[in-house]
Amino acid sequence: MKGVIKVIALLFIFSMILLIRLYLERSSVYDSFDMDLKAIEGYTEKFSYSSDEDIHFMIHSEEEFHVQLYRMSDTLIKVGDPVSVAGVKQNPIFSPVSGYDWESSYKIKNQLASAYYYLMAWNSIDTSYIPFVSTGERKSEVVVVASTNTWQAYNSYGGKSFYSNSNDSRLLKTCYSWFPKTKPVDYLPQNRPLSFIEKELKGVKYGKEELNDFTGIEHFERIDIGSHLHKGEWNLVHFLESEDYDYSVISDYDFERAKGLDSVKTVIFNTHSEYWSQEMRGRLNELIEKGVNIVFASGNNMYREVEHYRDGLKVVKSPEYDRGEVSELIGTFYTEETYLKVAPYRIVNQGHWAFKGIESDTIGMYGASGFETDKISAYSKGFKTLAIGCNQSGPAYMVIKDYPNGNYIFNASSIMFSKGLTNDVDIKLLMTNLLSHE
């Protein structure tokens, strides 16, 4: 009996030590810590700026550095001349909730046309890239929504994105998997550099993605899928600029707050519009009721719920929105079956106005249906299927729904779709038909 009591006592002590250690670790996940800063790096306080706002660039460089502004068009366009800036040694203390608290190193007044931009900053050691969007002053009938929520979700700077976490211990991660309610809030602070942006923009000369030629019904990791984030959104910009469309660009946050939507006729969601707030969903309903055309030139659409908090973005619902609600609203919903696989679309509604001038029954031969794709369900009422991916499993379902006001909602249901806007005649013609439809 004494032996049993002794074992129980030891187990109790061990459990208490484990719980105390777990509590101490759990309570520190929001604590600030020192970062090993690169020779030069920087960020902006937000992703989009309206006309006449001051754009502050928070840049760390202990030595003098230079900056050059670029606009993303059909090619890269320099805006102004390079400028030399005195070095600023920034505070290395990083908060997992609020990011950095750096001082402004360089600023410009936003008198820029609406477009995607980035500031390149470099010193004698390295180079940094800081992207942002100008919403501009002039209103356009075509508005592109940059998928800035998705950029944040994939930003692992500071050790944590929605997909990775190098800050918490193995003990904590095990606890999260066993007891999901113990997992801390996924805070994704704005005030930090983008971890992936250097890889995307370093050495870039042209906007379009260079993809391998398609050689079969389906590829798996043999094709250069390219970017699904910032650089991937350049393909739509390249098309709009090359075809001389009048358009403007806003962020996900701007869309939520109805900024830049005053004169809009068509809203285009770009490449990977995955992270949506409830307010964004409400705004989409409002625009549809007003008779605005909606184009999802994207995939994995409206999959996860987020909220904007004071210092950034947080994922508040995982893993996903309700399949039925999303399918009813935009026609399709994401599933993982075809992840990283690509194939063309097979047209199943050849006579539809969206395919006017397209003679082939198979489009997007570079692999337009793929990377991540969305599918119809029992809740996709009122939507017509235009085309289906030729993928062996999990193909993208391209759908459309017409409304009594004469407007429509089109959903390509594929991240790879927008890449054809630079190198596929049929995909370009399809988008032209959508933008010219009365």
More confident residue, 331 or 365: 331
Q: Is the pLDDT of residue 26 over 90?
A: no
Percent of the chain at pLDDT exceeding 70: 85
Complete edge-to-edge strand list for the sheet that includes strand 397-402? 247-251, 142-146, 266-271, 293-298, 408-411, 397-402, 384-389, 345-347, 362-363
* Per-residue pLDDT, 29: 75
Q: Is the pLDDT of residue 292 over 70?
A: yes
Question: Is 249:134 a contact under the CB 8 Å cutoff?
Answer: yes
Q: Is the pLDDT of residue 213 over 60?
A: no
CA pair distance 218, 346, nearest whole angstrom = 13
Tens-digit pLDDT profile for residues 72-126: 998 889 999 999 999 999 999 999 999 999 999 999 999 999 999 999 999 999 9
The Cα diameter of the chain in Å comes to: 88
CA pair distance 236, 191, nearest whole angstrom = 27
* Per-residue pLDDT, 235: 93
Specify the long-range contacts of residues 206-210, CB closer than 8 Å, at least 24 apart. Answer: 206/75, 206/76, 207/72, 207/73, 207/74, 207/75, 207/76, 207/231, 207/234, 207/235, 207/237, 207/238, 207/422, 208/234, 208/235, 208/238, 208/422, 208/423, 209/234, 209/235, 209/419, 209/422
CA pair distance 434, 438, nearest whole angstrom = 9
Residue 311 exposed, middle or buried by CB count within 10 Å (0-12, 13-18, 19+): middle
For 428, phi and psi rounded to 5 degrees? Answer: -65, -40
DSSP helix/strand/coil, 241 = helix
Mean pLDDT of the region 335-346: 90
* Per-residue pLDDT, 202: 83
Kindly indicate the confidence band of residue 194, based on its pLDDT and cuts at 50, 70 and 90.
very high
Sign of the alpha-carbon dihedral angle for 203, 77, 191, 181: negative
For 324, phi and psi rounded to 5 degrees? Answer: -65, -45
- The encoded tokens of residue 83 equal 């400028």
* Per-residue pLDDT, 165: 75
Q: Is the pLDDT of residue 217 over 80?
A: no
Residue 253: which H helix or E strand, with range? helix 252-256
- The encoded tokens of residue 352 equal 């539809």
Question: Is 277:145 a contact under the CB 8 Å cutoff?
Answer: no
CA pair distance 320, 317, nearest whole angstrom = 6
* Per-residue pLDDT, 8: 66
Report strand pairing: 408-411 vs 397-402: antiparallel
Tens-digit pLDDT profile for residues 155-169: 999 998 998 877 666
Q: Residue with structure tokens 């184009």?
A: 295
Start-to-end C-alpha separation, the chain: 86
